Amino acid sequence: MANFDVIVIGAGITGLSAAKAAVQRGLRTANIEALMFGGLVVNINELDGEPAGSGTDFASNLMMEISELGVENLSETVSTIARDGNQLSVTTDAGTHRARAVIIASGAKLKRLGIPGEAEFEYKGVSQCADCDGPMYKGEEVVVVGGGDSALQEALVLAEYSKCVHLVHRNATFRAQQHLVDAIGRHDNIKPVLNSVAEAILGNAMVEKVRVRDVVANASREIPSAGFFAYIGLEPSCEFAPAELARDVAGFLITDDAFNTKMPGVFAAGAVRAGYGGMLTHAIAEGEAAANAAAAQLGV
């Protein structure tokens, strides 16, 4: 298989930004991604803040840029990273590639609740993308679970289509930014269901209702719902990362200020990393910084 100066694992915004910065430093660069490029940002129809516009458009433009600059884009699944003499080997389902430096920018994925019906009704009413699937629920009732920015943003998207959005949150107040909480309050068809947790998703061929329990009264009820959207946080996508790489209690990779991991030559940036800021501007900045740190280590 091929030899590279830098291999970037992940084609979300952090990975694409890292690949762009690396190839602009004159490094032979590969980007490896098993799924669709762009990461979670492609689920966002209208970005909140800078840069503005569609998440899909932003990611697409960045993908075209790195391709034109000469980055080799590989559609493969990474299984391991290991030292190979003075190089690193990255093994995938297509073989083994070698590089002088590796940047892990594989991001994070939305957590699952793990309740009955969640897996059974996937693509049958259970979704993780309001921008993608919102029009399917025109005039219907839906349930959104979560109290952070993502949950409230998705509830606002669904409110444009749905008759009623039941916004279920386990606490008495939302933890999202205040402007999002205020926006929720201006929509009569968004109904907060506070101090409550989703217990089960019910239906026949499709989702029909959600059983919700009030944690204060310890009483359950069923809410009519054609769609179910859970936004309860993220978990890192780094199952392939070597065990010697330090992780925090949630499994996110730990780096120093220069994005170095415990394995020499291996860097981590973006949502896969403990301490990541979470904004799109942070994703771009961390990708570029990790690439520049790798280039400096390689003497470029």
Show the domains of the chain with their CATH numbers.
Answer: 3-110+234-297 (3.50.50.60), 126-230 (3.50.50.60)
Alpha helices in the chain (DSSP H): 13-24, 55-69, 130-133, 149-159, 178-185, 280-297
pLDDT reported for residue 51 = 61
Asked if residue 155 has pLDDT above 70, the reply is yes
What is the tens place of the pLDDT at every residue in 173-191? Answer: 999 999 999 999 999 999 9
- Determine contact, residues 210/198, Cβ cutoff 8 Å: yes
- 115 dihedral zone (left: phi>0; alpha: psi -120 to 50; beta): beta
37-46, 68-77, 136-145, 270-279: the lowest-pLDDT one:
37-46
Mean of all residue pLDDT scores within the chain: 91
- Determine contact, residues 227/127, Cβ cutoff 8 Å: yes
Residue with tokens 């059974």: 120
β partners of residue 102: 7, 266
- Residues 17, 65: Cα–Cα separation, whole Å: 10
Of 234, 235, 223, 294, the closest CA to residue 265 belongs to 294
What is the tens place of the pLDDT at every residue in 100-144? Answer: 999 999 998 888 999 999 999 999 999 988 878 889 999 999 999
- CA 176 from centroid of its chain's CA atoms: 17
